[in-house]
């Protein structure tokens, strides 16, 4: 019984001195990451819907930009998704290293806060 009481008291001391502020930060990071993944999906969906020639770099930059605006979690999700997509694309689709390099440049530009309109082709409907 004494051991049990000592264990409970020790638990209160340890929990009381713990840095519990990390829990909300982790939750915020996870929510930002989920939102960033959604931003990336929405940009991809818009790119498919628009089906507009030479617009893929714009949608890469836009998806990364919107995801990164959510915070560190969104920027992390954008980087993971962009890197995975480009690795798959360069391995499977055979589009080539130059296209992958240009896509990654647009991804990094958007994630760093650059205006996605830098890559916007003329004539792309204003809906996008």
Q: 56, 107 in Cβ contact below 8 A? A: no
Closest CA to 44 of 61, 63, 66: 63
Q: What predicted TM-score, i.e. pTM, was given to this entire model?
A: 0.81
Distance CA 71, CA 55 (A): 26
CA 70 to mean position of chain CA atoms? 9
Q: What is the pLDDT of residue 74?
A: 98
The fold adopted by the segment(s) 43-127 is Topoisomerase I; Chain A, domain 4 (1.10.132)
Q: What is the pLDDT of residue 87?
A: 87
Q: 70, 35 in Cβ contact below 8 A? A: yes
Consecutive 10-residue averages of pLDDT for the chain (128 residues)? 59 57 87 98 97 96 98 98 89 77 97 97 96
């Amino acid at each position: 019984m004494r051991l049990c009481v000592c264990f409970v008291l020790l638990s209160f001391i340890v929990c009381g001195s713990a840095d519990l502020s990390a829990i909300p930060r982790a939750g915020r990071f996870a929510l930002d990451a989920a939102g960033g993944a959604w931003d990336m999906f929405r940009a991809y969906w818009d790119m498919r819907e628009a089906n507009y020639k030479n617009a893929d770099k714009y949608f890469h930059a836009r998806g990364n930009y919107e995801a990164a605006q959510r915070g560190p979690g969104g920027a992390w999700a954008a980087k993971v998704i962009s890197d995975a997509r480009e690795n798959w694309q360069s391995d499977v689709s055979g589009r080539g290293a130059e296209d992958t390099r240009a896509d990654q440049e647009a991804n990094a530009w958007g994630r760093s806060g650059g205006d996605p309109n830098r890559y916007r082709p003329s004539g792309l409907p204003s809906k996008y």
